[in-house]
Amino acid sequence: MTTATSNIRVERVQQSRLQDVDFSNLPFGKIFSDHMFVSDYRDGEWTDDRIIPFGHFTMHPASMVLHYGQAIFEGMKASVHEDGTPMLMRPEEHAKRLNASARRMMMAEFPEDRFVEAVSQLVAMDKDWIPPQEGSALYLRPYMYATDEFIGVRPSETYRFCIFTAPVGPYYAKPVRLVVEEKYVRATPGGTGEAKAAGNYAGSLRAVHEANAKGFDQVLWMGVENKQQIQEVGTMNVFFVIDGEVITPVTDGAILKGITRKMFIDILKGKGIPVSERLITIDEVVDAFEAGKLQEIFGAGTAAVVSHVSELQYRDKLITVPPVEERKIGPMLKRHIDGLRVGKVEDTHGWLVRV
């Protein structure tokens, strides 16, 4: 059955797959809900906004995305308030960042109001796919890719923008072991590191593979000059707590402007906890560890919210961090964000949007 809702054409599935899902066992990124949003860019405008049954696309062998990598994405979550209302967190910020990525990759920008409307309607349709367990969520993946059927190096003139959703369970990963990456570089100012471009993630895989082979879970990315300046941890922004000060690398064009990162900074400032966005080097971290002042290292991102670091290997030096149960900042930030999502923490910043 096809219905019209606002300016989005809606085609519902004939039979939901919801009854086949075990919500007590949700592997990340492998189970997808019933519907997806699609819009196509041609002749200079986005056309045919639609929500349709989740399914495969067909693609021409010369689609430019396959050859020149014009592809960007976002990651966000929908949760359920205690009163049963589906909730989004800062969808407008994700719309803005998607368009910042589009500008860097010479792609068409998608109107921010239509982005928020599309996300809201998609979540409203598939609200029963939001897992009920605290810490669980409906993960949303908005993305865009080039569709011109042409093998010449230039920006595509046509694009497809999509959003699909996936129920995910609570993220209870154990603290990770890191190694400082000194051979490979994730990004450099002036490059594409500030964009959520698909190729950035492909370029990171070799370093992580080699780190895994040595027994580490992830890498700590360093800047190009002297391999001293800390950038990110894996695919997340990184925070250090040194002698009561919370420090995260300043976004210099090579570092993703994380939305979770931004919220953490606002939460810390609101609580009167010293927080700095500045250059931080691996030598400063080593010195803090040797002085007994390194209290926490953690990553910040949409999927895990907080990913604690237990150890950091830098050349022949093993830097250990106090156990999670002795930490204050990372656990507090995770509780705050998780509490916001379900209505247990007051939304004093106006970050939540009811669907």
Upper half-sphere CA count for residue 274 (Cβ side, 13 Å): 8
Amino acid identity at 71: A
Interval 13-56: pLDDT, tens: 999 999 999 998 898 899 999 999 999 999 999 999 999 999 99
The residues, any chain, with a CB within 8 Å of residue 206's CB and separated by 6 or more, are 184
Q: Comparing 58-67, 104-113, 132-141, 328-337, which segment has the lowest mean pLDDT?
A: 132-141
Residue 343's DSSP bridge partners are none
Residue 241's DSSP bridge partners are 246, 296
Query: Stretch 173-198: mean pLDDT, rounded?
Result: 94
Could you tell me the pLDDT band of residue 5, with boundaries at 50, 70 and 90?
A: very low
Query: Stretch 94-111: mean pLDDT, rounded?
Result: 98
pLDDT score of 2: 39
Query: Stretch 154-158: mean pLDDT, rounded?
Result: 98
| Residue 320: Cβ within 10 Å count | 11
**Which DSSP string corresponds to 154-175?**
S--S-EEEEEEEEEE----PPP
pLDDT score of 1: 38
Give the CA diameter of the chain: 67
Opening angle at CA 78, ends 77 and 79, nearest 5 = 120
Query: Stretch 174-201: mean pLDDT, rounded?
Result: 95
**Angstrom distance (rounded) from CA 176 to CA 174:** 6
Q: In Å, what is the CA distance from 277 to each residue of 158, 229, 254, 255, 316? A: 38, 13, 14, 12, 28
- pTM score: 0.94
Using a 10 angstrom Cβ sphere, with 0-12 exposed, 13-18 middle and 19 or more buried, the burial of residue 171 is middle
Interval 220-232: pLDDT, tens: 999 987 789 999 9
pLDDT score of 172: 66
Domains of the chain (ranges, CATH numbers): 2-168 (3.30.470.10), 176-342 (3.20.10.10)
**Angstrom distance (rounded) from CA 161 to CA 72:** 10
Interval 230-253: pLDDT, tens: 999 999 999 999 999 999 999 999
Query: Stretch 71-83: mean pLDDT, rounded?
Result: 95
Q: In Å, what is the CA distance from 177 to each residue of 156, 234, 286, 298? A: 41, 11, 16, 11
The residues, any chain, with a CB within 8 Å of residue 161's CB and separated by 6 or more, are 38, 39, 40, 41, 46, 110, 142, 143, 144
pLDDT score of 170: 80
